[in-house]
Homo-oligomer: A and B are copies of this chain.
Amino acid sequence: MGAMYALAEIADRLGGELHGPGEIRVGGLGPYDAAEAGQLAVAFDAKALARVEAGEAAAVVVPVGLDSELPHVTVEDPKAALHVLLSLFEPPPLPYAGVHAKAEVHPSARLGTDCTVGPFAVVEEGAVLGDRCRIGPHSVVGAGARLGDDVLLHAHVTLYAGVRLGSRVVIHSGSAIGGNGYGITMRDGRLRRIPQIGSVVLEDDVEIGCNCCVDRSTLGFTRLGPGTKLDNLVQVAHNCRLGENCILAAQTGIAGSSTVGDNVVMGGQVGVADHVRIGNGVQMGAQSGTTRDLPAGAEVTGTLAMPVKTFMQVQLLLPRLRELFRRVDKLEGA
């Protein structure tokens, strides 16, 4: 997995200094404590370097001032170098090119230049794809969906009819965009779903993890602003609007018609009730939840965990908290 580079080219790309044979080739980037044979590693300090040298790495990147018996490249900022190397060694996301013979693309669909459609992928009628879109195996681009340029759908993504994606949107395996919102009414003694006939807009640079759900709106669009990133298993309900550059960690859920500002950060398993307004820059800790609006810049949290025995006591005593306040009131009055 991953490309091979001569060490001299690595030094060049990092703006670093080469020590040792420039022509040796490294294939892949490994962790400092478990690099495999032929891989390159990055050591942030002497301790990490010792681990690299004890292992099988073919070469190592070190901060200026460290020396190694291994072929190595010295750099000013090894953390920045690591980021460059991660991009350099990132494998292509899909091993396909062009429209696969076993894909199913409706004749009325329009594909831009250099699009990739994997085996068993489906592009339904009237869908429009920009340039260089990559559609993974089994992914479904629903009827009338509109995609910008450089969109990447991994395997098993479902875009319901009419979904609109900006450019550079990335969606991971198993996510469903545009499912029916959960609007329910009782009629003739049985619950009935209220039809949701809107759709979803994911703006430029939105990224969606695995097995997420973003529901379509009743009317108009459920909307995620540019650059917003969802981790895995995140739920965004119908009629929600999220601003730009939001971070929603795994298993977080936003209920219907809530509004989230820009640059909001939610930890894992956060819950936001319906019709709530979350201001810009709000930070919500893991497992917290809110049924009320949160003003811009607010920081809340809510994770409780304590030893079982203590928790059992607390759980018994908490409902008596009002009684305790009253008893203290009385004592003070006495």
Asked if A255 contacts B172 (CB within 8 A), the reply is no
Q: Which residues of B contact A232 (CB under 8 A)?
A: 176, 179, 182, 213, 215, 235, 237
Asked if B313 contacts A324 (CB within 8 A), the reply is no
Asked if A195 contacts B90 (CB within 8 A), the reply is yes
Q: With an 8 A cutoff between CB atoms, is A16 at the interface?
A: no
Q: Which residues of B contact A314 (CB under 8 A)?
A: 318-319, 321-322
Q: Which residues of B contact A212 (CB under 8 A)?
A: 211
Asked if A120 contacts B95 (CB within 8 A), the reply is no
> Contacts A176-B173, A179-B154, A324-B328 known; A304 to B308 CB distance under 8 Å?
no
Asked if B327 contacts A308 (CB within 8 A), the reply is no
Nearest B residue to A204, CB-CB: B190
* CA of A154 to CA of B216, assembled, Å: 14
Q: In the assembled complex, how far is the CB of residue A6 from the closest CB belonging to chain B, in whole angstroms?
A: 19
Asked if A298 contacts B307 (CB within 8 A), the reply is yes
* CA of A28 to CA of B197, assembled, Å: 9
Asked if A307 contacts B300 (CB within 8 A), the reply is yes
* CA of A61 to CA of B137, assembled, Å: 44
Q: Which residues of B contact A140 (CB under 8 A)?
A: 137-138, 155-156
Q: In the assembled complex, how far is the CB of residue A280 from the closest CB belonging to chain B, in whole angstroms?
A: 15
Asked if B245 contacts A255 (CB within 8 A), the reply is no
Asked if B324 contacts A286 (CB within 8 A), the reply is no
* CA of A75 to CA of B125, assembled, Å: 36
* CA of A154 to CA of B160, assembled, Å: 9
Q: Which residues of B contact A279 (CB under 8 A)?
A: none
Q: With an 8 A cutoff between CB atoms, is A13 at the interface?
A: no
Q: With an 8 A cutoff between CB atoms, is A218 at the interface?
A: yes
Asked if A250 contacts B211 (CB within 8 A), the reply is no
Nearest B residue to A41, CB-CB: B219
Q: In the assembled complex, how far is the CB of residue A106 from the closest CB belonging to chain B, in whole angstroms?
A: 8
**Contact among B28, B229, B315 for A184, CB-based, below 8 A:** B229
Q: In the assembled complex, how far is the CB of residue A312 from the closest CB belonging to chain B, in whole angstroms?
A: 8
* CA of A102 to CA of B140, assembled, Å: 14
Asked if B303 contacts A289 (CB within 8 A), the reply is yes
* CA of A275 to CA of B331, assembled, Å: 45
Q: With an 8 A cutoff between CB atoms, is A78 at the interface?
A: no
* CA of A318 to CA of B304, assembled, Å: 10
Q: Which residues of B contact A215 (CB under 8 A)?
A: 210, 232
Asked if A249 contacts B255 (CB within 8 A), the reply is yes
Q: With an 8 A cutoff between CB atoms, is A15 at the interface?
A: no
Q: With an 8 A cutoff between CB atoms, is A226 at the interface?
A: yes
Q: Which of A17-25, A63-71, A266-274 contacts B (4 or more CB under 8 A)?
A: A266-274
Q: With an 8 A cutoff between CB atoms, is A29 at the interface?
A: yes
Q: A170-205: which residues lie under 8 A (CB-CB) from chain B?
A: 170, 172-176, 179-180, 182, 184-186, 190-191, 193-199, 205
Q: A174-B175, A211-B233 are known contacts; what are 12 more A-B pairs with Cβ within 8 Å?
A: A28-B197, A31-B198, A86-B194, A86-B197, A122-B155, A154-B179, A172-B176, A182-B232, A304-B315, A310-B319, A314-B318, A327-B328
Q: List 7 A-B contacts (CB under 8 A).
A: A138-B140, A176-B232, A179-B210, A184-B229, A190-B205, A318-B321, A321-B321
